[in-house]
Amino acid sequence: MSAALQLASGMSDAEWNVRCELAAVYHVCIELGWTDLINTHMSARVPGEPNHFLINNYGETFDEITASSLVKMDMEGNVLSPGGKFNNAGFIIHSGIYKARPDANCVLHTHTRAGAGVSLIRNGIRPISQDALHVIDDLVYHDYGVPATQEECDALGVSCKTGSCVVLMNHGLLTLGETIPGAVMRLYMLERACELELIARQLDEPPVIIDEYVQKKAAERMKKMRPMPEYGLGEWQGLVRTVERKGADFRR
């Protein structure tokens, strides 16, 4: 979609900018190894339209996703993009969180091996790495429910009210954020914490638990940092530059 076509469609500049940023997320997921064929999903709330969000057109691989191919939906499951398709389980997850968390403007969900591996263990992430300290105070565990049901939609909304970094038990990971870079940064640190947790569980001796005082000070610092617009911004901009250098063409 060109700038001229955007103008002709009546789409706001704010929506187009978020479309470009969310499309970039899918290409960044390829770079970081977070894809699972066509079966994970990332979304963003439409600026100025709190009851609408953008999500991938179901069936496209992540390298095919562009700003204009993203599907616009409302919280009732109506598709506002002509010809758009969506993963029903994805709709349930994202709409449930946006309804429960008005502060959330981006929701990311992965099925990585590390994340899915930790999701098999009750309270699987321990305070054993500096990566874990980025997320552990904001971490919740959500029990596996019946996928793509209203019951699961409501239950996930309840779980997410108390944390923005979520281990979906027997399933994978999820993060939400006030900004797209913030949600990506949360997910990066959560993925790292899971990777190190699984490494630690393969060692021949128990890991060193970080001192409680240090945990407390880290939590205080992260509670101040995560809501800030700058949180994760520098890392995000670097990731976007990386995928663009490698030929990602998502601004159309």
- Cα separation, 159 vs 137, in Å, equals 14
Read off the pLDDT of residues 166-178 as tens digits, 9 standing for 90 and up.
999 999 999 999 9
Q: In what side-by-side order are the strands of the sheet with 172-177?
A: 71-74, 49-55, 42-46, 106-110, 172-177, 165-168, 139-142
Alpha carbon distance 115, 236 (integer Å): 21
Higher pLDDT, 82 or 113: 113
Query: Which is nearest to 113 in space by CA: 49, 174, 33, 41?
Result: 33
Distance CA 2, CA 14 (A): 15
pLDDT score recorded for residue 148: 82
Q: Which CATH number fits domain 15-236: 3.40.630.190, 3.40.50.300, 3.40.225.10, 3.40.50.2300?
A: 3.40.225.10
pLDDT digits (tens, 9 = 90+) for 33-76: 999 999 999 999 999 999 999 999 999 999 999 999 999 999 99
Question: pLDDT, tens digit, for every residue of 184-207?
Answer: 999 999 999 999 999 999 999 999
Q: CA-CA distance, 97 to 179, in Å (whole number)? A: 15
Residue 83's pLDDT is: 80
Per-residue confidence (pLDDT) for residue 147, from 0 to 100:
86
β-bridge pairing 42-46 and 106-110 = antiparallel
pTM for the full model? 0.94
**Choice among 2-16, 60-74, 118-132, 187-201 with the minimum mean pLDDT:** 2-16
Q: What is the pLDDT of residue 82?
A: 83
CA distances, 246 to each of 65, 89, 106, 198, 243 (Å): 15, 31, 25, 31, 5
Most confident residue range from 13-22, 140-149, 150-159 = 13-22
In this prediction, residue 3 carries a pLDDT of 54
